[in-house]
Amino acid sequence: MVVNTQVELLNDAFNIFKDASRKLEGQYAKLENKIEELNEELAEKNRAMERNRRLAAMGEMAAKIAHEIRNPLGSMSLIASILERELETDGAKKRLAERITKGVKTLDNILTNMLLFANSPGSRLQKTNLTEVIEDSLLLARGHDKEGVDVIIEFEGNTLIMGDEAQLRQMFINLFLNAFDAIGEVGTLSVRTRVNGSSNSVEVEVKDTGSGIDQEHIDRIFDPFFSTKDRGTGLGLSIVSNVINSHKGYIDVASVRNAGTTFLIGLPIQAEKEYRI
Ligand SMILES: Nc1ncnc2c1ncn2[C@@H]1O[C@H](COP(=O)(O)OP(=O)(O)OP(=O)(O)O)[C@@H](O)[C@H]1O
Ligand SMILES: [Mg+2]
């Protein structure tokens, strides 16, 4: 009898032990899975860190290369403009020189966008007249438009703002180049300014009669590297959006396929007394 009770007790103890060890095994398997998950997470974080480190290094390298390329480009541009003047009477050769100028402008524009993207420099806001910036930008974008393209500019009211001239120039160049690309052979680019009293901003409307933007693309056009062009970097409009942000301005886009696109930009006017230091 005593022996039987002892066996029963032993059996119970054994069952409890089996149960406990089964539970422990289950917990152990769960722990193992968790450790595996954590290891994977860590490896992914390490990979992301490495990617970011490489991107930062590439950004620095791109900025250095861009500066190095700038100098010879400057000389090429100067020489091409001298050639253009000297070849005034020889139409065919002059056109070749013009192609060099156009190529140099394109390269220079890519470099400026790359530098603005890689460095994201702060803005140095100074009293800036938008009429001058817009006219300069148009001159720089010219050469990319075809003969059948009309350009209309209308300045209305105050065009003085506090702005970073170099950044604003690059912003307008990007918008004008996009418009010329979208227009192709024949069409109109119109640029109009007006004052919006309620937002205390100068508004600039950049309107083209070009190809328009597909509805499915419109939410992505300001994303860096989004491009529908064979040879586009997709940096143009992301720079535009950065410049708008650093000026605390706003931008709106409306587009109709095969009819054209309108960008509306608002840049805050500072009260006159804030100009004076
Ligand atoms: N005025 C416009 N008309 C039609 N589509 C436009 C216009 N502006 C921008 N887009 C569309 O938005 C995309 C992104 O423009 P973004 O300027 O950022 O890059 P990109 O012009 O393609 O390349 P990059 O500016 O480097 O030459 C363009 O590829 C084009 O599809
Ligand atoms: Mg562009």
Mutate to test the pocket of ligand 1, among 191, 206, 221, 265 (most ligand atoms within 8 A of CB): 221
pLDDT digits (tens, 9 = 90+) for 100-151: 988 898 899 998 898 888 776 677 889 999 999 999 999 999 888 888 999 9
| 167 alpha carbon – ligand 2 mean position (Å) | 15
Highest mean pLDDT among 52-56, 68-72, 117-121, 232-236: 232-236
pLDDT band at residue 1 using 50, 70 and 90 as cut-offs: low
Ligand that comes closest to the CA of residue 228: 1
Report, at the CATH architecture level, how domain 1-119 is classified: Orthogonal Bundle (1.10)
Ligand that comes closest to the CA of residue 253: 1
Q: Please give the structure tokens belonging to residue 255.
A: 């587009």
Decide: helix, strand or coil at residue 18.
helix
CA 167 – CA 12 distance, rounded (Å) = 82
| 195 alpha carbon – ligand 1 mean position (Å) | 27
Mutate to test the pocket of ligand 1, among 111, 116, 227 (most ligand atoms within 8 A of CB): 227
Q: Please give the structure tokens belonging to residue 21.
A: 């060890």
Q: What does the domain layout of the chain look like in residue ranges?
A: 1-119, 126-275
Q: Which residues of 81-97 are buried (b: 16+ CB within 10 A; e: fewer)?
A: eebbeebeeeeeebeeb
pLDDT digits (tens, 9 = 90+) for 175-208: 999 999 999 999 999 999 999 999 999 999 999 9
* Ion ligand 2 residue ranges (Cβ < 5 Å): 178, 236
Backbone angles phi, psi at 255, to 5 degrees: -145, 140
Are residues 188 and 148 in contact, defined by beta-carbon separation less than 8 angstroms? no
Decide: helix, strand or coil at residue 251.
strand
CB of 210 sitting under 6 A from ligand 1: yes
Decide: helix, strand or coil at residue 262.
strand
CB of 242 sitting under 6 A from ligand 1: no
Ligand that comes closest to the CA of residue 210: 1
| 10 alpha carbon – ligand 1 mean position (Å) | 81
Nearest C-alpha to atom 24 of ligand 1 is from which residue? 232
Question: What kind and span of H or E run contains 155?
Answer: none
CA 218 – CA 205 distance, rounded (Å) = 18
pLDDT band at residue 254 using 50, 70 and 90 as cut-offs: very high
pLDDT band at residue 277 using 50, 70 and 90 as cut-offs: very low
Among 224, 206, 237, residue whose Cα is nearest residue 133: 206
| 246 alpha carbon – ligand 2 mean position (Å) | 19
CATH number of the domain located at residue range(s) 126-275 in this protein? 3.30.565.10
